[in-house]
């Protein structure tokens, strides 16, 4: 392979910056999907949300973020098409990262909850179209991803409806709802904890040098589930008098700390791929001398993505949190608890099988699901319409911005 247009070290530095910028945008925008329901239901404050999300977004990205990365990176276009022109491939991946990051930054400033998956997919499609033409795009792969954008909110919405229905039937409508909550809420918590432990043990720990056998995975999953359940049960029992004072909804608010952590972990594990996928592709070209169809995800790249998400969340996440937390429907802790559990389950399941979905769509679907459980009249369809419109705009915005960045970078580097 001929020498690259820049020194490899400089290329990697630029790629790291571009990946960090994209991860910053993910934290600023998609964090609403992790924390919007918790803040909107007043279960936790915005400051508490930032702290919880910072910890678990990072852990999700670092421990379980490797599996879907390869799907995003090589699913939309065949890297072999650029085997004779690695410079163009690198410029294209950089353009996609800068374009998607820019769109997420602008959307976050406006408080629009757009999809980071939409953003990077649209950006990469824009690069392929301008460099190779429409026929070079793997439209079948794009179609599969697009299908998940429809399927995931339907699944999470249905699951959220059922979770809230069960909570209403077995806890809220009981003659002694507080006793029922203290007894049953740890069961829901066990379910959430097992999901998180399963994907971490099965898909994540091998990326940090801790591969586990099937029996070890089962053991770790059950141990973690029981451990978290015991903590939840202890918290509920210790706060029984406080729950009596403030009502049964306060029990759900207490447990929302667990579900908020779960959805943050799930989001970090799934959506970090949108930042580090193109970075991994650039590393593959720069360090290995060829555009490989498969390459391991470097731990430092996962670390970079996790840190970027945390910075974006802390510095620019508040506006989108407010949109998701209060514009779709009025949330109570029990509704937010149900939405978070449903969304976390859906996203983690997708991460487990390496299927890229939009956390935005999944969480919004879950919130709509609990809104429907209360009644159609409780949904703000005007706000839902505006959110959907922002989703529609995102793909062409990502593609157009990529084309602009691509042309600017080509001129800048004399390609």
Run of H or E including 117: helix 116-132
Find the range with the poorest average confidence among 79-83, 168-172, 274-278, 354-358.
Answer: 354-358
Per mean pLDDT, which range of 29-38, 63-72, 291-300, 340-349 is the poorest?
63-72
Q: Which of 220-229, 341-350, 384-393, 394-403 has the highest mean pLDDT?
A: 394-403
CA distances from 176 to 146, 169, 181 (A): 45, 12, 9
The confidence score (pLDDT) of residue 105 equals: 94
Closest CA to 398 of 66, 111, 92: 92
For the residues 304-311, what does the mean pLDDT come to?
Answer: 83
Round to whole Å and give the CA distance between 345 and 155.
Answer: 10
Q: How confident is the model at residue 408 (pLDDT cuts 50, 70, 90)?
A: very high
Q: Which of 55-69, 291-305, 380-394 has the highest mean pLDDT?
A: 380-394
CB 324 within 8 A of CB 367: yes
What is the pLDDT averaged over residues 171-176?
A: 90
pLDDT at position 106: 92
pLDDT at 104: 94
Is residue 225 classed exposed, middle or buried when 0-12, 13-18 and 19+ CB atoms within 10 A define those classes? buried
DSSP-assigned letters across all residues of 37-88: HHHHTTSS-HHHHHHHHHHHHHHHHHHH-STTHHHHHHHSS-GGGGTT-HHH
Maximum Cα–Cα distance across the chain: 76
pLDDT of amino acid 405: 96
55-64, 148-157, 179-188: the lowest-pLDDT one? 55-64
Lowest pLDDT segment from 85-94, 176-185, 204-213, 327-336? 204-213
Q: DSSP string spanning 264-319?
A: HHHHHHHHTHHHHHHHHHHHHHHHHSS--S--PPPHHHHHHHHHHHHHHHHHH-HH
Is residue 185 a contact partner of residue 171, using CB atoms and an 8 Å limit?
A: yes
pLDDT band, residue 323 (cuts 50/70/90):
confident
In angstroms, rounded to a whole number, what is the distance separating the alpha carbons of residues 212 and 96? 35
Answer yes or no: is pLDDT of 70 > 70.
Answer: no
How far apart CA 282 and CA 96 sit, in angstroms, is: 12
In three-state form (DSSP H/G/I as H, E/B as E, the rest C), the secondary structure along 369-410 is: HHHHHHCHHHECHHHHHHHHHHHHHHHHHHHHHHHHHHHHHH
d(CA 30, CA 271): 8
217-270 pLDDT, tens digit per residue, is 788 888 888 998 998 899 889 888 888 888 888 888 877 877 778 777 777 776
């Amino acid at each position: 392979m001929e020498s690259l247009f820049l020194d490899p070290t400089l290329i990697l530095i630029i790629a790291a910056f571009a990946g960090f910028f994209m991860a910053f945008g993910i934290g600023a925008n998609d964090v609403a999907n992790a924390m919007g329901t918790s803040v909107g239901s007043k279960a936790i404050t915005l400051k508490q949300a930032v702290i919880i999300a910072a910890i678990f977004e990072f852990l999700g990205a670092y421990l379980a973020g490797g599996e879907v990365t390869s799907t995003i990176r090589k699913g939309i276009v065949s890297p072999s098409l650029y085997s004779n022109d690695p410079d163009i491939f690198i410029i294209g991946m950089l353009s996609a990262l800068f374009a998607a990051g820019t769109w997420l930054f602008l959307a976050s400033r406006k408080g629009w909850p757009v999809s980071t998956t939409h953003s990077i997919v649209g950006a990469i499609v824009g690069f392929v179209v301008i460099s190779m033409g429409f026929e070079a795009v793997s439209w079948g792969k794009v179609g599969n991803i697009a299908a998940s954008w429809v399927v995931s909110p339907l699944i999470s919405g249905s699951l959220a409806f059922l979770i809230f229905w069960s909570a209403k039937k077995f806890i809220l409508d009981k003659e002694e709802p507080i006793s029922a909550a203290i007894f049953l809420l740890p069961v829901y918590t066990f379910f959430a904890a097992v999901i998180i432990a399963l994907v971490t043990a099965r898909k994540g720990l091998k990326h940090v040098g801790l591969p586990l056998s099937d029996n070890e995975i089962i053991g770790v999953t059950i141990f973690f589930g029981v451990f978290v359940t015991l903590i939840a049960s202890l918290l509920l029992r210790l706060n029984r008098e406080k729950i009596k004072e403030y009502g049964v909804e306060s029990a759900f608010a207490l447990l929302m700390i667990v579900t908020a952590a779960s959805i943050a972990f799930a989001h970090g594990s799934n959506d970090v791929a949108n930042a580090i996928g193109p970075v991994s592709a650039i590393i593959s070209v720069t360090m290995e001398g060829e555009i490989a169809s498969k390459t391991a995800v470097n731990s430092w790249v996962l670390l970079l993505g996790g840190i970027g998400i945390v910075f974006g969340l802390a510095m620019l996440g508040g506006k989108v949190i407010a949109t998701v937390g209060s514009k779709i429907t009025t949330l109570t802790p029990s509704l937010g608890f149900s939405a978070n559990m449903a969304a976390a389950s859906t996203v983690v399941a997708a991460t487990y099988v390496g299927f890229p979905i939009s956390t935005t769509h999944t969480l919004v679907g879950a919130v709509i699901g609990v809104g429907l459980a209360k009644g159609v009249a409780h949904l703000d369809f005007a706000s839902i319409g505006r959110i959907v419109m922002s989703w529609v705009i995102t793909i062409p915005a990502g593609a157009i911005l990529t084309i602009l960045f691509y042309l600017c970078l080509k001129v800048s580097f004399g390609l």
